[in-house]
Structure 1
């Protein structure tokens, strides 16, 4: 099976973004590692964050864990096929899904669209075309999937998702903006979307840390610095380590 790989030409892919913290997250659910690596390279170069699931069951686990903006979903995968994965994703919500398959039959296309796929790409494909379709679907679904508000409030902290700003807002004290790095902000915002839920280090690493930081202990370092900044601003006990599991936003004191 041949795939057109012209990345050596160093051409600019459409929609590239220089700010990794504004990237959408794309989950590539593909059991053929070579295809997955090519797609992930193109998507990353186009300014998107990526994660990889090698089988259908893992795809569902990562979809639940990472809450991706879009899933590139292969039909023929071990554990669970793409149709089953798509059906369960649709039961959970409206995550954008593009099906990847070697089957070029109208019936297969209709099945995918009927279950709820947003687009359909037949193998072999040009990875640059897949990126373009991914960006088009993300643009089309961004408004429908955007949260109703861009502020999160957790235990005395107000998180402005539009302006990448977090501030401590305690009664009878002036509002105090936290001097967070982008990674610290992303960790705080990600956990604030589900207060009291325990997040594993692997999940936080995949969802929040820049490409290239692959060691789980780097999560400990970033969260340690974040905890110190929050405590210095007057909120203690908000960020809790759960031994052997990970971290959560608990009840600040």
Structure 2
């Protein structure tokens, strides 16, 4: 009996010693979970430049250093259909200042991500954007293109609330004829979206570039069946100029009716 009591006292003493050796916070409740690394904060898209576009963006910055465009002009931004448009800066007499910011191979996604370098510094009164063609070719859906365009519009209107935006519909090229259904779907989504927002226009260059049978007009394209030739750009200039004229006329009429 005395041995049993002595054994219990010894065990109790050892337990008390062990309890004293463990930090107090470990005695209450279950063991704390191991520390986890702090979450990585998302990087703003404008802070990251895809290596494919670095040379183009650097060239734009260098051109701006040599001659800074005056604010209040028109920025044409988008993919190679804008970049390859020779003489664009002088083809619209009603637009005194035109800034061409096309970079080949780019997507609507890229135009949105680099908005702070492609559009915002120029404080334009109008932005004409052509992009989305390459998005579809890389497997993105019409809804993806619309989402990227929405981001573009919201970014411009947040910083430049008086700037108008005109979206050039995706062109129907012979090389990408298999994508025509997705092109039509994308154009329809963006046209519908454009009708729901102020200062937002949709310019249909898809329809006049089709034959009567619904296939692309090959005579408007270069030998690669993807990019425009001189006749193709002449058609674009005509359609865009008519839209700009109607927009200016409509704006003037609206101003006249609201004047006191």
TM-score (norm 2): 0.38
Q: Which has the higher strand share?
A: 1
TM-score (norm 1): 0.39
